[in-house]
Amino acid sequence: MPLVISGSTAGGRGRPAVLAAAAARGLLGGLAGAAAMTASQRLERAVTGRPASHVPGRTLLLLAGRSPGEDDRPGGATLAMVVATSAALGAVRGVWRASGLLRVRADVAQTLLRIIVDQTLENATGAGAPPRTWRSGEGFVEVVHAAVAAVATGAVVERLVEPVLESRRGTTSH
């Protein structure tokens, strides 16, 4: 059932409670996004023969204070990082939806945010390399998978959260 709010509150709840509920529902969308991205990556690798990336898992291990080697293939940590990042972005997506950032604009914003978050964490920990150093085509593939996650997340969030806090202030002057 969508989060529906009359006016700016629901049952006397204020904006913070509405946003918290939207974020919680957005988490569900993020989990759907993680599943969709994982499936798209598996399909793409089956077609292209590209090996699985374990950079997200090594990133998570580094964030947790461990020291994985370049040859480590932490499958569980990789999946955990994908799910955690997707859930967090789903929460953000729920807040965006409640606030009025909708559909394609939200898909594009989430795709970009996914790439930014992944690259920031991977490069800050030393687990990954900047996209400008990747082999030809790798960046495109990463963007496609991030977009798949964004669209799947959005499909769920758009059903669970209504844009009830969308404001009309500032539409005529800035």
**3-class DSSP assignment, residue 99:** helix
Q: Is the pLDDT of residue 48 over 70?
A: yes
Q: What was the pLDDT predicted at 83? A: 98
**69-77: long-range contacts (C-beta < 8 A, 24 or more apart)?**
none
pTM of the model: 0.89
How many Cβ atoms from other residues are within 10 Å of residue 133's Cβ?
8
Ordered by start, the domain boundaries in the chain are 15-58+75-160
pLDDT the model gives residue 8: 44
* CB-neighbour burial class of residue 100 (10 A; exposed 0-12, middle 13-18, buried 19+): middle
Count CB neighbours of 116 within 10 A.
11
**Mind listing the pLDDT tens digit for each residue in 83-131?**
999 999 999 999 999 999 999 999 999 999 999 999 999 999 999 999 9
**Token pair 């998570």 is at which residue?**
60
Residue 161: phi and psi, rounded to 5, are -130, 130
pLDDT, tens digit (0-9, with 9 covering 90-100), for 134-170: 999 999 999 999 999 999 999 999 999 999 998 878 7
Q: What is the mean pLDDT of the chain?
A: 92
- A 10 A CB-CB count for 152 gives 24
